[in-house]
Structure 1
Amino acid sequence: MPSASKLTTPVAVDLPQIEGRYADLGGYTVGFETFPQDVDPAPLFAGLPDDRCPCPHWGVVQSGQVTFRWTDHEETYGAGDAYYAGPGHVPLLSGGTSIVEFSPTDLLGETMAAVERNLATAGSGA
């Protein structure tokens, strides 16, 4: 049975706003993400359906706080909370937040490709 741990999963994203480690568990990806500072990644979802994350996520907040915003409501989770964030959300993360999150690998890949394009555009000053 596939497994992963934060200690043995290599760092894939290392930015001032996020450190992310990701492992494929056979159709699902586990992400170990840490956010040292407050992050509102809404602009990074531009170009996705309704400019929102189309990928569902199941996770546990290990420390800090995450808020998921949909067009009609918000849900906030703190340390120790397990959550499900359905498609159509935009996250908002407090500094010091650490989460473990599971996502369908195919949908996460499509979402992250758009996020990476938006990061590249922002980095080029365009």
Structure 2
Amino acid sequence: MPHTNKASAPVGVDIPEFEGRYVDLDGYTVGFETYKADVDPAGFFRGLPDDRCQCPHWGVVLTGSISFRFADRTETYAAGVAYYAPAGHTPVLTAGTEVVEFSPTEALNATMTVVGANLAAEAGASS
């Protein structure tokens, strides 16, 4: 049976605000995410339908809190809470937060392709 843990998951993202370690387990990506700063990354979802993440996520907040902004509401989850964030959200990240999140790999990759291009464009514009 496929499995992983934070120590063995390769680092996929390591920037001053965020570290993410990811492993695909038979079509679902397990993400170990650590938020190092307060960030509202909504702008990085530009170009997706409604400029919002189109991938659903299931997760557990280990420390801190995470919020998901939808068109009609914001939902916030604190340490110890399991959550489901359906497609159509943007996250709001809080420093000191750690989550373990499960996402369908295909939908996550499609979203991250757009987010990655927006990140690269911003990095190019600021250099």
TM band (smaller chain) = over 0.9
- Structure 2 residue 113 is matched with structure 1 residue 113: yes
Q: Which residue of 1 aligns with 2:15?
A: 15
Using structure 2 for the length normalisation, give the TM-score: 0.97
1:15-94 equivalence runs, <5 A: 15-94=15-94
Q: Deviation per CA, 1:32-83: give whole Å up to 9, x if none.
A: 0001110111011000000000000000000011011100011100000000
Gaps of 5+ in 2: none
How many angstroms does 1:93 deviate by?
1.1
Show the counterpart of 2:5: 5
TM-score, structure 1 normalization: 0.98
The residue that corresponds to 2:122 in the other structure is 122
Q: Give how far 1:17 is off.
A: 1.1
The CA distance in 1 between the partners of 2:33 and 2:105, in whole Å, is 16
1:66 is paired with a residue of what secondary structure? strand
Structure 1: runs of 5+ lacking an equivalent: none
Count of equivalent residues: 126
Q: Which amino acid aligns with 1:100?
A: V
Counterpart AA for 1:69 = R
2:79 and 2:22 mapped to 1: Cα distance? 21
Identity %: 59
Q: Quote the RMSD (CA, aligned, Å).
A: 0.8
